[in-house]
Structure formats: C-alpha cells, structure tokens
C-alpha cells in the first residue's frame, strides 16, 4: 500500500468516526430536549417550597402513612423526610425532592390526582415488562398506548380485574412465551407504564391492539379501529 493510499484511508476512517460521534451528539441533544419538555409540566417541590402543590403532597404522604405532620403547605424538614422515606420504598432516588418521578409514583401528575394508588410496585414493573416486550421499537406514545390497553382491560367486565390477570390470561399476549419476555426492560417502557397508570390513554379507550402486518387473526381484523399508532391498530 502506498503512503498516499494509507493517508487516504486514514482520512476516510476519521470522517466516519466524526459522523458517528456527531450523530450520537445530535441524538442525545434531541433526547434531552424531549426529556425537558416532558418534565416542564411538573412543579418541583423541595425544602422551602410553599403552596397548594406542597399541600397535596403532604395529604398524599399522610394517606399513605409516610407523613404525620401538619398539612400546612410548607415543605419543611418533616415533609422532606417523608418524601425520602416514600422514595426509598419505591426504589427511586431518595433525595427528598418531589419532582416528576416522585409525583407520578404518588399519583400526582402535574399537580392533579390519579387513581394509580390501587397498583403496587410489582404491577408497575410487570406493566413496564409487557410494554417493553410488546412495543419494542414503537414511539413513546405507542408504548403508553399498549400500557393503556392493559389497564382498560383491567376495568372491563370481560377481562380479569388485575394487571397480572390480564397479562397472563391464556393467549392474551404472545410475548410472555417468546424471547422478548426475558430481554432487559427499556427505560422508556418504565416511564410509559407510569404515565399509563396516571391516566394517559393515547389508545382512545381501546381494549385490543394488533400489528396488521404480523397477524391474520379474523377476530382482531373484525374489531373497530379507533386509533393507529406506528405499527399497531388499537380497537374496541
């Protein structure tokens, strides 16, 4: 190989590395912008905060048995300690600051209440596992929609009344019997599970969904489609 060819190959290799690095940085920046947008709707409460949001946090912590102080809307040391204890019980960062993740676990989405207190941490983990296996490669909205379908079934009289009952119902979800079930759960699926539990339903109230390119099941194709997100058709 001549010196010229060696030099040319080196330049090409460096150019490829540069493209890969630039692409990674662009992707990271896009994610951070999206993450910021997601977090911007939540009020962060911490030591020294006051107001209605703190009042709601104290009431919720009190109802869960983590807070015994006055519900006065003042985020003092007692409230901070209660938040830390709650965070530890959920297995999330225990910093005593009530931000997006803690609010979602409390069922206080952006200051509003939710009925997700009826579900346990194991329910959240199972829901995230199914979303990760069933909606791998789908958009975030599509992942939340899959979680919402499972929760809609829990509330529907034709299905079992628990997340585990719905997930493990015979023939309901093929993923429980394939390799995807044992793959690592995607972080986005964990967030999607929490958002679904807190009331976000992009599926339009669907109780079924299917990938038209992967199934020829007559029953699924006979259902009324109410929403299409990515590769999935959501039906009632």
Distances, alpha carbon 197 to alpha carbons 10, 108, 166, 218, in Å: 52, 11, 15, 30
Which residue do the tokens 């297995």 mark? 91
HSE-up (13 A, CA, CB side) for residue 39 = 12
Architecture of the domain spanning 52-114: Orthogonal Bundle (1.10)
Structure tokens of 140? 């975030």
Kindly list the domain boundaries of the chain, sorted by start residue.
1-40, 52-114, 121-235
Note the pLDDT of residue 4.
Answer: 53
Query: Integer distance in angstroms from the first to the last C-alpha of the chain?
Result: 66
Which backbone phi and psi does 227 adopt, to 5 degrees?
-160, 145
**Whether pTM exceeds 0.75:** no
Q: Quote the CA–CA distance of 137 and 141 in Å, as a whole number.
A: 11
Q: Quote the CA–CA distance of 215 and 220 in Å, as a whole number.
A: 8
Q: Quote the CA–CA distance of 113 and 198 in Å, as a whole number.
A: 8
Let me know: does 153 contact 159? Beta carbons within 8 Å. Answer: yes
Blockwise average pLDDT, block size 10, the chain, 236 residues: 55 48 36 32 80 89 89 94 88 87 70 52 90 91 94 92 90 83 88 88 90 82 89 91
For 11-20, the CB contacts below 8 A with 24+ separation are: none
121-235 classified as CATH 1.10.10.2520: yes
Strand, coil or helix: what is 124?
helix
Note the pLDDT of residue 40.
Answer: 39
């Amino acid at each position: 190989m001549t010196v010229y060819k060696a030099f040319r190959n080196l330049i090409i290799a460096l150019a490829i590395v540069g493209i890969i690095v630039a692409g990674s940085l662009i992707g990271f920046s896009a994610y951070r912008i999206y993450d910021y947008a997601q977090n911007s709707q939540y009020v962060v409460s911490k030591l020294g905060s006051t107001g209605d949001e703190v009042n709601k946090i104290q009431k919720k912590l009190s109802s869960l048995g983590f807070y015994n102080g006055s519900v006065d809307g003042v985020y003092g040391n007692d409230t901070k300690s209660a938040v830390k204890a709650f965070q530890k019980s959920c297995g999330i960062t225990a910093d005593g600051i009530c931000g997006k993740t803690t609010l979602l676990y409390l069922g206080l989405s952006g200051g509003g209440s939710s009925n997700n207190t009826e579900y346990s941490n194991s329910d959240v983990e199972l829901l995230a596992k199914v979303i990760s296996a069933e909606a791998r490669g789908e958009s975030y909205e599509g992942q939340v929609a899959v979680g919402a379908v499972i929760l809609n079934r829990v509330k529907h009289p034709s299905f079992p009344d628990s997340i585990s009952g719905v997930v493990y119902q015979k023939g309901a979800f093929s993923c429980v019997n394939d390799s995807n079930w044992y793959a690592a759960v995607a972080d986005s699926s964990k967030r999607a599970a929490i958002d679904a539990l807190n009331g976000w339903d992009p599926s339009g109230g669907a109780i079924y969904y299917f990938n038209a390119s992967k199934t020829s099941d007559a029953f699924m194709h006979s259902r009324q489609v109410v929403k299409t997100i990515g590769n999935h058709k959501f039906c009632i």
